Amino acid sequence: MKLLGFLPFFALPLAFAATKDIKSQLVSLAATGNCVIRLDASAFDLLTAPNRDWSASIHFTALDKRRRCAPCKEFDPAWNSVAKAWATVPAEQRDNHFFATLDFDEAPTVFQKLNLASAPVVWVYGPTEGPRASARNVPSKYDFSNGFEAEPLAQHLSNHTPIPIPYKAPIDWARWITFISGLLGFALTLRFIAPVLQSRWTWAAITIVTSLTMTGGFMFTRIRGSPYTGADGSWIAGGYQNQFGQEVQVVALIYGTLAFSVVMLTMIVPYQTSPARQRLQVYLWSGVLMLIYSVLVTLFRVKNRGYPFKLLL
């Protein structure tokens, strides 16, 4: 009978041994998996064991082709590079935080259990024991609003790791080489393209194209990432504060045509040498001006429904 009373005391070191055991198991898993643990349902339970003195960031994804998860593919390299950066940390810190990936097709039950309906998702499980133990037992979720890049991910995860992740963005050699070779090429051909560069009309073309694209709302589509056309194939976005990529082209073209007809009327037509031809051009470009301007106003009426004016159309 007394022996039974002692049993819990024996069980205690056993329990410790068990967590130690799990941990060493995890460490070896991480070592084999190139610093990312490939999880299945049972490994997931090991990693998120209720009494753990380690933390873990888990990446839920669906990389299989059938799942057609484009963001998953986009995010995967960033995740692996951050995990690789973590592998360079000294062992005593490294073994307190694990990186793991769980693919939907390897453990769909886990997805069901966690009520996950989308991928990719990154959850961080904090430690429940030990010096870093936190009161919150719910995993914290990584917010993808900063995009799928590695840099913000490493920054966010560093809040949960024992020491910050020593992630450094890799040097983009391709970009540097293109840049330098472009520069060299420019320097070499400078002699041949110098007349072009010194021509004011080259610069005029650059200036006009720039200002036309800018006033066509190019920066809006870039910053907001609006699509080229709508999902239903329409090229003009409803609403005054919105636009598609194709609208930039159409509007810039309209502005360009209108400006061109004004330029023709002032800079070309007066130099005509025959009265009849000049008269024809005057009427032609005036007609173009009125017609395209009417088109522009009609287009604007589509965007701004309350606009009360219209021209020919």
Partner 1 sequence: MSTAYPLPTNISPTTVANTASLLRIVAFGLISGAAIASRLFAVINFESIIHEFDPWFNYRATRVLAAKGFYEFWNWFDPTAWYPLGRVVGGTVYPGLMATSGVIYNFLHYFNLPVDIRNICVLLAPGFSALTAWATYMFTAEMKDPSAGLLAAAFIGIVPGYISRSVAGSYDNEAIAIFLLMFTFYLWIKALKLGSALFGTLAAVFYFYMVAAWGGYAFITNMIPVHALVLLLMGRFSGRLYVAYCSWYAIGTLSSMQVPFVGFQPVRTSEHMGALGVFGLLQIVAFASLVRSHVSSKQFQNLLAISVVTMGVLGAGAFVVMTYKGWIAPWTGRFYSLWDTGYAKKYIPIIASVSEHQPTAWPSFFMDLQLLIFLFPAGVIMCFRELRDEHVFVIIYAVVASYFAGVMVRLMLTLTPVVCVSAAVALSTLLDTYVEAKEPDVPEERMEANGSSAPDGKKTKKAGGAVGSQASTTAVAAASSAISDFVSATRSSASTPRQKGIWGADTRLVILLNAIGMLVFFVFHCTWVTSNAYSSPSVVLASTNPDGSQHIIDDYREAYYWLRMNTPQDAVVMSWWDYGYQIAGMADRVTLVDNNTWNNTHIATVGKAMSSPEEVAYPILRKHDVDYVLVIFGGLLGYSGDDINKFLWMVRIAQGVWPDEIQEPNYFTPQGEYRVDDRASEAMKTSLMYKMSYYRFSELYGGGNAVDRVRNQQIPKVGPTLDYLEEAFTTENWIVRIYKVRKEDTLGRDLKTANAFAQGKKKKRSKPVSRRRAIV
Residues in 203-222 that interact with partner 1 by CB under 8 A: 203-204, 207-208, 210-212, 214-220, 222
The helix (run of H) or strand (run of E) holding residue 178 is helix 173-198
Q: Is 223 in the site for partner 1 (CB under 8 A)?
A: yes
Cα–Cα distance, 205 to 65 (Å, whole number): 46
Cα–Cα distance, 227 to 51 (Å, whole number): 48
Q: Which stretch binds partner 1 (CB under 8 A): 12-20, 74-82, 102-110, 145-153?
A: 145-153
Instruction: Give the amino acid at 308.
Output: P
Among 42, 70, 233, 241, binds partner 1 (CB under 8 A): 241
Nearest 10 degrees: Cα torsion 300, 305, 310, 313: 80
Among 140, 158, 229, 298, binds partner 1 (CB under 8 A): 140
Cβ partners under 8 Å of residue 150, min gap 6: 77, 78, 79, 81, 82, 167, 169
* Minimum distance, C-beta of residue 154 to partner 1, in the bound complex (Å): 14
Which is nearer to partner 1, 133 or 254 (by Cβ)? 254
At 254 the three-state DSSP class reads: helix
Which is nearer to partner 1, 80 or 281 (by Cβ)? 281
Q: Is 311 in the site for partner 1 (CB under 8 A)?
A: yes
Q: Which stretch binds partner 1 (CB under 8 A): 37-45, 88-96, 181-189, 298-306?
A: 298-306
Which is nearer to partner 1, 90 or 239 (by Cβ)? 239
Applying the rule CB under 8 A, the residues between 149 and 168 that interact with partner 1 are: 152, 156, 159
Q: Distance of alpha carbon 41 from its chain centroid, rounded?
A: 30
Give the other-Cβ count within 10 Å of 16's Cβ.
11
Applying the rule CB under 8 A, the residues between 263 and 292 that interact with partner 1 are: 263-284, 286, 289-290
Token code pair at residue 100: 């793991």
Applying the rule CB under 8 A, the residues between 244 and 263 that interact with partner 1 are: 247-248, 251, 254-256, 258-260, 262-263
**CB 39, CB 47: distance < 8 Å:** yes
The helix (run of H) or strand (run of E) holding residue 122 is strand 121-125
Q: Is 22 in the site for partner 1 (CB under 8 A)?
A: no
* Minimum distance, C-beta of residue 70 to partner 1, in the bound complex (Å): 17
